[in-house]
Chain A
């Protein structure tokens, strides 16, 4: 009998539980959950505000999930230390949990840079967790003016979720463009115009120099009066448990493609990790849900004595705002880095495919996203573009561009 401890109770933890149970249906699993909720769909918090889901439907797993999986969940507890000598996870309440293998799936925390006068702002919120969301919801009124600091994925999804529930939304960001982590300048401009047409106001290339109660004094000299402040500047991976235990960390906990950290019997998965991004050819924090699940699953299988690798991680996002969808994946290498670009533009749509060394390394699709997964798979599988009809494929994502033999094999047909 083994004893597994999972620190964290989000998507990566769920993947880990299911991964362990695919191999080992007997041993004890203890989940340490700081949040007092069963696992829920974290990316759905903006859809909750928007009324597109509710607390029941946004559960990630069924109500009997932990029972069926034979897990004990310790709600409202946090892990303070992993003692690698005695092989115990020590909790903040003094409890010591023995482990055979532990998975750190501790996620990330909002990063709030020091800003003068922030302590004078009464109604300020992060937008990461369900509890953040419920607190924010309780603070808004129909006539609220909202200032969101950060025009990234979190800030803008928050803006979308709030739009019909408040009077006015302003989003500011130090960057001169929206969604700077996933969109290039041109694509960002298109998305920004769409968001503006839907009532979101922007102050880009600007930041709050100081706050005084309900007023933000911007570096540009402008002032913004607000009732509710949302801080969505960025996140930091929660790495300290592993670094304190002697494991290597960089911006995230370093993991290999079996989700092992450099410390014995300590695995890690999800937003707290930094693993290989195969589109980049280097390590990167890939804080996206699919990655969290697949890393968690991989960690779980290996913790239970199985052998699984997860070596196809790439950044990828499918994100829509007010009916306009953007899909992005991989890495965008410019000409200076040896890359080339295929581009199509049309009314309300934009396609950019990034190619380097005969491989598709990344793409941005806005407006037209049909069968985008065919492009994604080319990045993940590193398919040489000279093995298929790329002239056809770059115009339309279609399996018709594969050779008949490859296509029939793909579709399980008679070769």
Chain B
């Protein structure tokens, strides 16, 4: 299946993907109203330093330890995409404790939110991919993780 990958040599660490992600998931129509002056809770984040930077978001693991570990039965795999049911999540953060990529973090209300590949909100292509100025984030099929 198609996943989001980052090419760390091209990633500038500009954090634009974080803002784009927060905006895309805000349900609002203009970016300043959605984001200006607010602490954002994106589902992708930049790690690294001045030498290397890269974006991290859910890897949609074929054998997801977060799903197996969720104490609320709130995480599940639907057609390969790891989804969270926010009605069921109680914010225990067990998924944060087990995700080896450090890809998960809760939203403003303490309930988990996560990258679901923008399948619901951005017309087929993840917004972070579409808006990365350097094309450092791509959405494609790769063999090793099929």
Report which A residues bind B (CB closer than 8 A).
15, 41, 43-44, 47, 52-53, 57-61, 289-290, 293-294, 297, 316-320, 325, 327, 329, 369-374, 376-377, 380-381, 397-400, 404, 407-408, 410-414
Report which B residues bind A (CB closer than 8 A).
3, 5-8, 47-49, 52, 54, 56, 59, 65, 68-69, 71-73, 87-88, 90-102, 104-105, 142, 144-145
* List of B residues within 8 angstroms of A318 by Cβ: 92-94, 96-97
* List of A residues within 8 angstroms of B3 by Cβ: 412
Closest B residue by C-beta to A396? B47
Known: A398-B102, A412-B3. A369 touches B72 (CB 8 A): no
Check B68–A399 contact: CB distance below 8 A: no
Check B47–A398 contact: CB distance below 8 A: yes
Total A-B residue pairs with C-beta atoms closer than 8 Å?
Answer: 122
Check B73–A60 contact: CB distance below 8 A: yes
Check B8–A370 contact: CB distance below 8 A: no
* List of A residues within 8 angstroms of B144 by Cβ: 412
* List of A residues within 8 angstroms of B92 by Cβ: 43, 318-320
Known: A41-B72, A57-B87. A290 touches B98 (CB 8 A): yes
Which residue of the partner chain, among A15, A41, A319, A369, contacts B96 with CB atoms under 8 Å?
A369
Check A371–B90 contact: CB distance below 8 A: no
Check B72–A44 contact: CB distance below 8 A: yes
* List of B residues within 8 angstroms of A413 by Cβ: 5-8
How close is A58's CB to chain B, nearest CB, in angstroms? Answer: 7
How close is B5's CB to chain A, nearest CB, in angstroms? Answer: 6
Besides A44-B90, A325-B93, A400-B47, 15 more A-B contacts (Cβ < 8 Å) are A41-B73, A47-B90, A61-B73, A293-B68, A317-B97, A371-B99, A372-B102, A398-B47, A399-B54, A399-B56, A399-B101, A404-B52, A407-B54, A410-B100, A414-B7
* List of A residues within 8 angstroms of B105 by Cβ: 370-371
Check A320–B91 contact: CB distance below 8 A: yes
* List of B residues within 8 angstroms of A317 by Cβ: 97
* List of A residues within 8 angstroms of B145 by Cβ: 412
**Cα–Cα distance between A156 and B52 once the two chains are bound (Å):** 43
How close is B97's CB to chain A, nearest CB, in angstroms? Answer: 4
Check A404–B97 contact: CB distance below 8 A: no
How close is A14's CB to chain B, nearest CB, in angstroms? Answer: 9
Check A43–B71 contact: CB distance below 8 A: yes
Check A410–B97 contact: CB distance below 8 A: no
Closest B residue by C-beta to A380? B100
* List of B residues within 8 angstroms of A297 by Cβ: 68
Which residue of the partner chain, among A15, A61, A400, A411, contacts B48 with CB atoms under 8 Å?
A400
Which residue of the partner chain, among A53, A59, A294, A327, contacts B97 with CB atoms under 8 Å?
A327
